Every structure is written in C-alpha cells, then in structure tokens.
Structure 1
Amino acid sequence: MPLAAMRRATRETVSGLPREFWWLWTSTLVNRLGAFVATFMALYLTLDRGYSASYAGLVAALHGLGGVVSSIGAGVMTDRLGRRPTLLVAQASTAVSVAVLGFMHHPVAIAGVAFVVGAASNASRPAVQAMMADIVRPEDRVRAFSLNYWAINLGFAISSMAAGFIAEVSYLAGFLIEAGMTAVCAIVVFVKLPESRPVRAETEKADEEVGLRAVLRDRRFMAVVGLSFLVALVFQQGSVGLPIAMGDAGFSPADYGLAIAVNGVLIVALQIPVTRFIDRRDTKKILIVSSLLAGYGFGLTAFAGSVGVIALTVCVWTLGEMLNAPTQTGLVVRLSPAQGRGRYQGMYTLSWSVAALVAPLMSGFVIDRFGAEWLWALCAITGTAAAIGYGALTRRLPSEAPAETPTATEADVSPVVGPVVGTEPDVRTA
C-alpha cells in the first residue's frame, strides 16, 4: 500500500471520535505501558523470593479470582455511582495495592495482596467499556473498541520487553513503576474525563430493569456471555496450553517467546487495517469466522513440528482475536440498555475472568492425561461450537437499541461528532 494511502486510511480510522474518547484511550495506553507485574510475577516469586512453582501458581490463581469477584461488583458500581468514580476508585486502589505488594514478604500476605490487586485492576474494565459506549456514536463504536484494543496490545508489547530489563535491576522498581503509571491514569481520568452516565428518572421500575436479576434473565445476552467464555477459553491457551505443550515437545522458553511474539506484533501492525475491514460489516459473519479462526488456529498446532510452523498457527488465531475482540464487545453494547451498561459489561468481563481461571486447569489436565494433541482438538471443537452458537444467536439481532436519554456531559462533547447517545441505527455495531 502506498504511503499516501496508508496515511489516508489511518486518518479515516482515527477521525471523528470525541476528545473524551482519546483521553480514555490515553489512560488505557499508559495503564498497559506500566503493566510489569503480571509479566514477571512468576519469576519474581520463584527466582527472587525462592517460592515453589506451585505457590506461584496459587498466587496467579488468587489474582485471577480477584478479577472474577470484582467483575460484577464493578459493573454495579459503574451504573450506580457512575463511570468516572468507579474508574477513580479502581485505579487508585490498583496503584496502592501494587505498591504494597512489592514490599510484602510473608507468603500469606503476598497471596492476600495479589487477590486485592487482581480485584482492583479488573474493576476498571466495565467502567471503561461503558464510558466508551456512552461517549462514542453507535456507528463509530467498532472503530473505538478496535483502537482501544490496539492501545492495550501496544502498551503490553512495550511493557513486556521493558519488564525483563527492569527485573534485572530491581523487581521492586517494577512494582513501583506500575503503581506510579496507574496513578497517572487516575489523574488523567480525574482531570480530563467528565461523567458520562446517561441521566434517567430515579424510579423503582428503572432500577429493576437494570438490576443483576434482569441481566441474568436476559437470555440472549447470557448466551453471548456463554459463547464469550468458550472463545476466551480457546484464546487463553496461547499463554497456558501452548507453552506447556511446547516445553513437553522439547522447545525452549526462547522458542515459545519467539512464537508468541508474533501475536503482539501482528496486532500492533494490523489492528488498524483490520478495523477498516470490519467496520460496519455483518456482526454474525465476523463472529462466526473469528471463532473458527481461533479454534482451528490452535487446532493446527497439533501438526506443527517447528517454531516457524507454530508461528504460522499463531498468525491464524491472532487474526481471529483481532476480529473477535471489538466485534464481541460491540455486540454486548448493542444488547445492553443504556442504564445497565455497567452491569452488562461486568457480566461480560466475568466470562473472561472465569476463562482465565479454568483454562490453566483444563490445559494441564488434558495434556497430562491425554496429550497436547487432544487439547488442540478440543480447541477446534470449542471454536466450532462457538461459531454455531453465534450463527444461531445473531440470526435476528434487534434492529435498534433502546432509546437512550442524554448524558450529563453531552454538552461537553465536541459538536462535530454529533450527539453522544441516541437511537442505535440498523447497522453492524461493536
């Protein structure tokens, strides 16, 4: 593609989004740039503190459990207290708990604080996604979610490389740097982001409509949550099943690092072009294709005998990841009533948090009992099941979302982008 065409494509991808979105995007990028702890936590516990691998696994599980617990609570806070207060509480709590974790020595204290860190860091996700849906026009949400996903992966790619160098100097420095950058995110939210929660009449009926019980009774949405869990279970194998299987096959950690690096490089390089491709395209087709790419991308690993071939399989499921992430998030927004976006996003986040807990147990059990080939076959089956489920679920999507009342900050949004919220048109959303 000529340079001029690339510039035009990039400009069209990023244009037309309100300034509040870009401040939220900046906060996300800074947050991921400082995400050192998750990268080197296992090495920190085993090499620096001298704990066993089993204990390191327990701490990782507690960190994930914290995310599971906070998903629903953060969703409720997002709707009741507002997006901005929830973000401030979550990011401030994360900054403090990460800093405290760096000074913990007793195994019980480390495990306990790790649980708090997992809960606090995960609590911001429903608020971020709900705020993004509030401030971005329905027809622009696919681009917004894709750009946010791109920022997450760009930040994580850079922080992963920096984590190794920081760990060689001081693990404590990594904890403090992450705490400091998370605090910067909180400052950005406090200074630049107004509250975006839609204004509504305080009635018991409205409260009932957005209660957790109403979310659980929403069969279509809960089906999306279930399918999201299946897809997340497959994608999690990139960080849990793949390294175990490669190690059993005689590959070195460096080989795994080289193969998995393809995932981050592709996302950073191709997410914006992929965003242009999927913008306003059919939700059903994209979710079906992404599920099949994920399932069979991992399924093909059973036939990979070299690092190069494994890297090719990573390319396949990474493409599925790039298609699935913004599209599925947008489908959640489309099915969510404006007043209940926090709870709906919290339930959606829960599916990924639970998958992060189940995936390590599943991959270890299957590989130990039956072999890695069965794990990859199971991934292919799971991806196929998800594709069939999405096909059935999205057969008759609602043509428009429930009408939304104006937000408290509608006047603060640049008028060139149109109203912040409104009736959702009959187009592909994400």
Structure 2
Amino acid sequence: MRSWYRSTVGGLPRLYWYLWTGMLINRVGGFVALVLSLYLTSARHLSVPVAGLVVGAYGIGGIAGVLCGGVLADRWGRRSTLLLAHFGAVAVLSGLIFARPIPLIAGLAALLGLMHSMPGPAFVAAIVDVTPADDRSRAFNLQFWAFNLGMAVASVLAGALAEVSFTLLFTVDAAGTLLTALLILWKVRETRPAHRVSSARPAGGLHTALTDRAYMSFVGLSLLLAILSTQTSTILPLAITGDGLRPSVYGSVVAYAALLIVIGQLFVPRLIDRWRKGTALAIANVFLGLGFAAVSLADGVAGYLAAASVWTIGSMIAAPPNAAVIAELSPEALRGRYQSVFYLTFPAASFIAPAAGGVSLQYLGNWHWIVCGSLGLLAAAGHLLIQPARERRVAEQLEAERFAVPVAG
C-alpha cells in the first residue's frame, strides 16, 4: 500500500493539491448545466425549441470562455483568471435565480457558459507550472479522477435537488463555486513563470498555437478521440432505447463506466509510465474503437456493460498522456493559449457527434458503431505516425528553453 501511495499520489507539490481540491469542489457543485434544459421547461415553462436555444447560448458562451480563459491565463495570470471566473459564476448564478424575461435568461446562460469554461485552461496551465515534468502523468491522472468523481456526485445531486427546488439547486451550485473561489484566494499563489525570451522561439500569441503543425496534428487526433467519447452522451442513449431497453439502462451503463474510472484510474499510472506517450494514446484509441464497435453486437444490458468496460479502459489510458503531451508541446509563455485550443475539441465534438452520429445511426444502423471503431483505429495509427516528429519537436523545444533568459515584465 505504501508503494502504491508513493507511486500514485505521493510527492506532488502542496499547491497542486489545493488546485486539485478546487477542481473537485467545482465539479461536485457544478450541476446547473446538467439540468439547465429541465429548469427552463419545467420551472420557466419555456417550449422545448426555446429552451434548446437558451442551452445553445450556454454552449456558445463556453466556446468563448475556453479561448478567453487561455489568453487571460497567459496575460493576467492563472490565479487572476480563476478568481474572475469563479466569482463571476457566483454572480451569474445568483442572477439566474431571479431572472424572468427570456432574453435575460439567455444572456445569463451565455455568461454562465463563459464563466464555467474559463477555468479549464488556467487550472491545467497552473498544474503544469507547479508539477515537475516526471510527475505530470500522475498529476493529470489524478485530475481526471477528480473530474469524473465530481461529475458522478454532481449528477446524483442535480437529480435530487431538482426534485426539491430549483432555487435550492442554483444556491448550492453558487455556494460550491464560492467555496472554490475562496480556496483559490486563500491558498493558491500565482504560478505563471517569469516571461522568458528565446531567439529560437518567440512568445507569439493564440495564432502561434493554431499554426503549430505538430500541435494541431495532435489536436486533430484528439478531436477524433473526443468525438468517440461523446458518443456516450449523444448517440448511445438512442441505441439503447432503440433496442427496446428502458432509459434507466442508459443511466446504469454511464454510472458503471464512471465507477470503473473512479476505481481503476488510480492504478493507471503504474501501468503506463514506461510507455511512450504516443504508444499509450494509440492503445487507448484502439480500446475506445473496439468498445464502441462492440455496441453493434449489444442487444441487452450485459452487452452494453461489456462494451462500456472496453471503451472505459481506453478513456482511462488516454487521460494522463493526453494532458502530458499538451504540456510538452506548449511553450512556457503560451501554456494557457495552447490549453484553450485543445479545449475547443470538446464543444466541436459536442456538435459533430450528435449532428453526424444521428444521421449515421439512422441510415447505417449498427454499422454506425463499426464506423466509430474505424475512427478509433485511424486515430491510433495517427498517433504512432506523428510520434517520432513530435518527440523531436519536444527535444528541440526543451533545448531552446534551456538557453532562454528571464526578463522583466
């Protein structure tokens, strides 16, 4: 047990654990987004199409928040960005409790999406700042674990509180967000490294990430992974109910996958630490592809649980090297911006997966899941192909940063 503790959670900086605790509290309390459409239709009596537009405003705000969060984390600092996002979210949630006009609700929903998405790039950039390179795989693995544990608890709380009072739900969410903000204010110092100049790699801006071929190749492959992962929340419910199973079966499958992650993610670092990151990502995508391809054979609860076991293994393997590669490819002065570009894959996948997946499932039937499996294998091959060039780029960047000199400002 002592050996497991040292290899899994031991030795990480104290500041990392403050950030980790803040993320966990934020995830546990961040459940308004999960039931926003239900709140709009049942408590505000909006029609389904209008509620959909308001939820869409939340999504648009999220896209803007990802980019703003990355830019501000590099310009203002990680701590300032986190405080702005969390205190801002508290204010918006408080406004939503009393908002009645539909345009006001839509505007506040967009602002909430903005505030909810801003902390992501800043949190991860801060983790990279304070965690030694050799420990980042463990740090990101524990971050992924906290995220899933928080989401699992949030899902249960959201359903329970929504049955009691939406006002109570918004209040508890605001209280959790405020608690995170106070923790950051009290315990988290600014982690942004001193600006450094290097003749080999100037600081640049957001366009630097968007025109970085090595990085955007990795982001493109990550988009395929995100599209696969998003099947669980978009197309999988349709497949399960299409097989004549009750909606509760879908909830059971999702809960089972979350439980696997909470239990198994703590043991992943010891398994993959000796693997090259591209190899680990290739294996992860193979498991994801095989898991979703197995859905084509599932027609009962056991079949769906078996498929979930396979794709969840892929998700667990992918999380630590995915985050570590982003950290490696991000120039020190642009960590927030690089994180924000990567985070854009999630809203993009949230659009592509249901839009293309719905048509695919309707016309291809179970062959849709074979296509998903093929995408997983394609992404696996891509990671193996780009691995040598990416590793050379990382080595060159490390060499350049060795000779960079700190400057004021």
Name which of structure 1's ranges 62-71 and 231-240 shifts more when overlaid on structure 2.
62-71
Say whether residues 1:217 and 2:211 are aligned partners. yes
Q: Does 1:168 align with 2:163?
A: yes
Equivalent-residue separation in structure 2 for 1:296 and 1:68 (angstroms): 30
The CA distance in 2 between the partners of 1:36 and 1:129, in whole Å, is 21
Residue 329 in 1 paired to residue 323 in 2?
yes
User: 2 CA distance for matches of 1:315 and 1:35?
Assistant: 27
Deviation of the 1:67 alpha carbon = 1.6
**Distance in 2 (alpha carbons) for counterparts of 1:27 and 1:195:** 15
- Separation in structure 2 between the aligned mates of residue 248 and residue 196 of structure 1, nearest angstrom: 50
Instruction: Give per-residue Cα distances to partners, 1:247-294, cap 9 Å, x unaligned.
Output: 222222211111111111011111001122122421121100111111
Contact kept, 8 Å, 1:210 with 1:337, in 2: the verdict is no
What code does the residue aligned with 1:347 have?
V
Q: Deviations over 1:187-231 (max 9, x none)?
A: 111111111111025x79799533122222210001111111111
Structure 1 residue 64: Cα displacement: 1.9
1:74 aligns with 2:69: yes
Contact 2:41-2:48 within 8 A present in 1 as well: yes
**More displaced 10-residue stretch of structure 1: 117-126 or 372-381:** 372-381
In the superposition, relative to structure 1, how do residues 123 and 274 fare at CA in structure 2: closer, same or farther (>3 Å)?
A: same
Mapped pair 1:39 → 2:29: no
Q: CA RMSD in A?
A: 2.2
Whether 2:373 is the aligned partner of 1:373: answer no
1:99 Cα deviation (Å)? Answer: 2.6
Q: Which runs of 5+ in 2 are unaligned?
A: none
2:5 is aligned with 1:10: yes
Q: 2:80 aligns with which of 78, 85, 100?
A: 85
The yes-or-no answer on 1:113 pairing with 2:117 is no
1:96 CA drift (Å): 1.6
Task: Give 1:53's aligned residue.
Answer: 48
Normalization by structure 2: what TM-score?
Answer: 0.92
Amino acid at match of 2:354: P
What is the aligned counterpart of 1:384 among 374, 377, 388? 377
- Choose 346-355 or 41-50, whichever is displaced more: 41-50
- Tell me the equivalent position of 2:123: 128
Q: How many residue pairs get matched?
A: 401
Aligned pairs (5 A) from 1:200-349: 200-201=195-196, 208-349=202-343
Q: Distance in 1 between matches of 2:52 and 2:212?
A: 35
Deviations 1:3-38 (A, max 9, x none): xx4x54134311110000000000011001102212
How far apart are the structure 2 equivalents of 1:406 and 1:273? 39
Partner of 1:361: 355
Cα 1:154–1:103 shift into 2, 3 Å: same
Change (3 A) 1:305 1:356: same
| Distance of 1:51 and 1:162 partners within structure 2 | 24
- In structure 2, relative to structure 1, the CA distance for the partners of 1:291 and 1:90 (3 Å cut) is same
Distance change in 2, residues 1:207/1:277 (3 Å):
closer
Letter in 2 for 1:250: G
Q: Which residue of 2 aligns with 1:150?
A: 145
Conserved 8 A contact 2:198-2:405: no
Deviation of 1:114 after TM superposition, in Å, equals 1.5
How high is the TM-score relative to the length of structure 1?
0.88
Q: Share of identical aligned residues, percent?
A: 36
The one-letter amino acid paired with 2:259 is V
- 8 Å CA contact retained: 1:196, 1:407: no
Which amino acid is 1:343 matched to?
A: R
Distance 1:150 1:352 in 2: 18
Distance verdict in 2 for CA 1:359–1:127, change over 3 Å: same
